[in-house]
A and B are shown apart, each in its own frame.
Chain A
Amino acid sequence: MIRPDAPLLLDICDLHASVEDQPILKGVNLSIRAGEIHAVMGRNGSGKSTLSKVLAGHPAYTVTAGSVNYRGADLLELDPEQRARIGLFLGFQYPVEIPGVSNLEFLRVATNSRRAERGDEELDTFAFEDLVHERLKVVQMDPAFLGRSVNEGFSGGEKKRNEILQMALLEPLVAILDETDSGLDIDALRIVADGVNQLAGPENATLLITHYQRLLDLITPDYVHVMAAGRILRTGGKELALELERTGYDWVDLELARLEPETVEVA
């Protein structure tokens, strides 16, 4: 939902970042207001996951220029845990397995760290069980998953649902979902999309990273951005995604060739 007067949650300005001295992001600009749903699309390797990890504060990525403002604060100054506590959430493209750490305990500690930041009281194991069982319904997940180690032995779809469960518990203000749809069968896709739609509200915003129109059939974006070679090449409404579906990314190569003739080969 676009409301020009809605508060600005995330403001990314000319963001440059590299990994192992290799520049990946080359000037990303993106503003997100409360209530909005944004989709970022683009070919593999265009820098979408890098953008999401830089925003979440992954230590492997170095910001070389630009700024990110999150609700008036300099996001890039903060540790990853602090970013999470103040309401930034990243749903990972590839959630890692953490053997030996109980999923339930992990979810409880995570939830409580966010609650503490908001001034809410800590939930003990009993109170948390009630909350988590209620939120499990959002993703139609079997409570048996709570008793296992974090993501250990989960199927691809189960991992993604566990991500959305975490989002449901942490109640972020800005949720970045990195290819949460990939690897899901149609039923799982619907469950995940329903979950995201339930959690989206006028106070928060969602940034969906995806390759596929099929997710955007279920979650209607307010804005669609096309990313290529570490920057956002074009921004439009939901019809831009449909156009991409029809025409593919060839025009992106042409546009890039115009911008950076030295780095792009045109077939």
Chain B
Amino acid sequence: MSTATVGDLVSQPYKHGFVTDIETEKIAKGLSEDVVRLISSKKDEPDFLLQFRLRAYRQWLQTAEPDWAALGYPPIDYQNIIYYAAPKQQEKKASLDEVDPKLLETFDKLGIPLSEQKRLSNVAVDAVFDSVSIATTYKEKLAEHGVIFCSISEAVKEHPELIEAYLGTVVPSNDNYFAALNSAVFSDGSFVFIPKGVECPMELSTYFRINSADTGQFERTLIVAEEGASVSYLEGCTAPMFDTNQLHAAVVELVVLDDASIKYSTVQNWYAGDENGVGGIYNFVTKRGQCRGARSRISWTQVETGSAITWKYPSCVLQGADSVGEFYSVALTNNHQQADTGTKMIHVGPRTRSTIVSKGISAGHSSNSYRGLVQIGPKALGAKNYSQCDSMLIGDQAAANTYPYIRSQQPDAVVEHEASTCRISADQLFYLQSRGIGFEEAVSMMVSGFCRDVFNQLPMEFAAEADKLLALKLEGSVG
């Protein structure tokens, strides 16, 4: 029951690795201006969006893939990826009864029931399968409150003025290589609009499912909270087990105006590859929120357990006076997974405040890096940041790194950083066991204890789920 056994323990088979056998419409592999035009025409998009995509595509061609992260992977062949795949059903269905039962079954199996009778109470779900959204629940009920929650493709058709006003304003298409790629080829994702003064009456959630091999997933999410509005949004994701790597490059943009707030939570469980590091999702994600208004607030909470490669830095641009940014993260890596994740807190306005709590757990041969930037601009009088980065090592083959960058142009800003590293020791496990607590439960108790500050930030409905997910990842044969 030395560390080797702890290693076995975290190597739990992936439970979402099945493939749905469904007829899929795919376009040919490869990326070109024609492909970008094809995607846009398939979606019957207005010209402004086609122009947005084409500009992004040209910018992408002129941008280099970033190489500064502590990640190693063979070069990605962007011409060997399918940029659009959709289950064959003619139109987006008006009612769930018309959605292919195989798709409903898939989401049922993933624990995301979409059908009327079985729905999660008080959570509206947008279900995205490969490149398209197949269903959004509780739309009508939300509409009564003026809340728009639909796939981004629908929003382009039904609320083009909102899309044109906000898309690409937080993450410009030339922001980075993967953001440019996403802007050129994004296929679907969610759109949320909470009008002035409205507190969204239920949790909103998008569930992303990659099904096809060789297909990239490029989803785009945009959430706007007007003055005094608030919403809590959760994103979940899984994929089948393939022994090839799938590229996932998403962009998420959040905009909050005066006194508004968005709480954005992610439970990321993409397929991570097998114990030898074969297969798994390459996850290159740009997530950024802009606190445009005074006293506005954005809170990112992420539980990252999957993907072969994670490159992800959910960030806050704190423009409005007294605005608040928060980042709470648990990243668990095992086997040969590599994660380089963290956040950027950009303090622009006066008295802006930010909090960063990062918990990295590395097991197996994995590598887990926290990379964070706290930037305090010259006008951010009285800005404050508190950062805490803790690493837990399981076994002696895993690596953990912390790269905290602080740039301050404001002498009276207060920036505090704390970091710690711990290891689950055989003696700690034995202590718990010698009190009648099983080995697996002992590991999971220690890991949940380590993550508690972050789990406490998750919406109640999902906190237990996250705990279970980690326990699942840590469950296995004890020998």
Contacts and interface: CB of A to CB of B under 8 A. Distances in A.
Determine if chain A interacts with chain B.
yes
Interface string A94-114: 011011111001100110011
A114 B441 CA distance: 15
Contacts of A96: 425, 427-428, 431
Contact of B435 (A58, A102, A117, A170): A170
Contacts of A166: 435
Interface in A80-101: 80-81, 83-85, 89-90, 92, 95-96, 98-101
Contacts of A102: 449
Nearest to A86: B436
A102 B445 CA distance: 9
Contacts of A110: 432, 435-437
Nearest to A59: B1
A60 B445 CA distance: 22
A57 interface: yes
A95 B431 contact: yes
Nearest to B425: A96
A90 B434 contact: yes
A175 to B, nearest CB: 12
Interface string B406-431: 00000000000000001001111011
A212 to B, nearest CB: 24
A79 interface: yes
B119 to A, nearest CB: 30
Q: In this complex, which of B1, B436, B450, B478 has the most chain A Cβ atoms within 10 angstroms of its Cβ?
A: B436
Interface string B300-330: 0000000000000000000000000000000
Given A98-B431, A98-B432, A166-B435, A149 B426 contact: no
A59 B442 CA distance: 15
B436 A81 contact: yes
Contact of A106 (B427, B445, B450, B478): B445
Given A58-B430, A90-B434, A101 B441 contact: no
Interface residues of A, number: 32
A56 interface: yes
A218 B432 CA distance: 29
Contacts, number: 81
Interface in B429-457: 430-439, 441, 445-446, 448-450, 452
B428 A106 contact: no
Given A59-B2, A101-B446, A109-B445, A170 B436 contact: yes
A56 B428 contact: no
Contacts of B431: 92, 95-96, 98, 150
Contacts of B437: 81, 106, 109-110, 113
A102 B448 CA distance: 11
B5 to A, nearest CB: 8
A84 B435 contact: yes
A59 B436 contact: no
A110 B435 CA distance: 5
A205 B438 CA distance: 25
A101 B427 CA distance: 15
Contacts of B422: 99
A101 B435 contact: no
A116 to B, nearest CB: 9
Contact of B436 (A95, A99, A101, A113): A113
A141 to B, nearest CB: 17
A98 B449 contact: yes
Contacts of B478: 79
Interface string A158-172: 000000001000100
A207 B436 CA distance: 19
Nearest to B392: A100
B452 A57 contact: no
Nearest to B451: A100
Contacts of B433: 57, 79-81, 84
Contact of B449 (A80, A89, A99): A99
A98 B478 CA distance: 21
Contacts of B427: 96
Interface string B85-114: 000000000000000000000000000000
A98 B428 contact: yes
A90 B1 CA distance: 18
A59 B435 CA distance: 15
A59 B428 CA distance: 12
A166 B431 CA distance: 12
Interface string B1-15: 110000000000000
B446 A106 contact: no
Nearest to A113: B436
Contacts of A90: 434
B435 A106 contact: yes
B358 to A, nearest CB: 15
Contacts of B449: 98-102, 149
B445 A59 contact: no
Nearest to A97: B428
A39 B450 CA distance: 39
Contacts of B432: 98, 101, 106, 110
A84 B431 CA distance: 11
Contacts of A117: 436
Contacts of A81: 433-439
Nearest to A100: B449
Nearest to B446: A101
Contact of B439 (A79, A84, A98, A101): A79
A149 B453 CA distance: 14
A58 B427 CA distance: 8
Interface of A: 56-60, 79-81, 83-85, 89-90, 92, 95-96, 98-102, 105-106, 109-110, 113-114, 117, 149-150, 166, 170
Interchain residue pairs A-B with the least CB separation, the first 6:
A100-B449, A113-B436, A59-B1, A110-B435, A84-B436, A80-B433
17 contacts: A57-B434, A59-B2, A79-B438, A81-B435, A81-B436, A84-B433, A84-B435, A92-B434, A95-B431, A96-B427, A99-B422, A99-B450, A100-B448, A100-B449, A109-B445, A113-B436, A113-B438
Given A80-B433, A84-B434, A85-B436, 13 more contacts: A57-B434, A60-B426, A79-B478, A80-B430, A96-B427, A99-B422, A99-B449, A100-B446, A101-B446, A106-B435, A106-B437, A114-B436, A170-B435
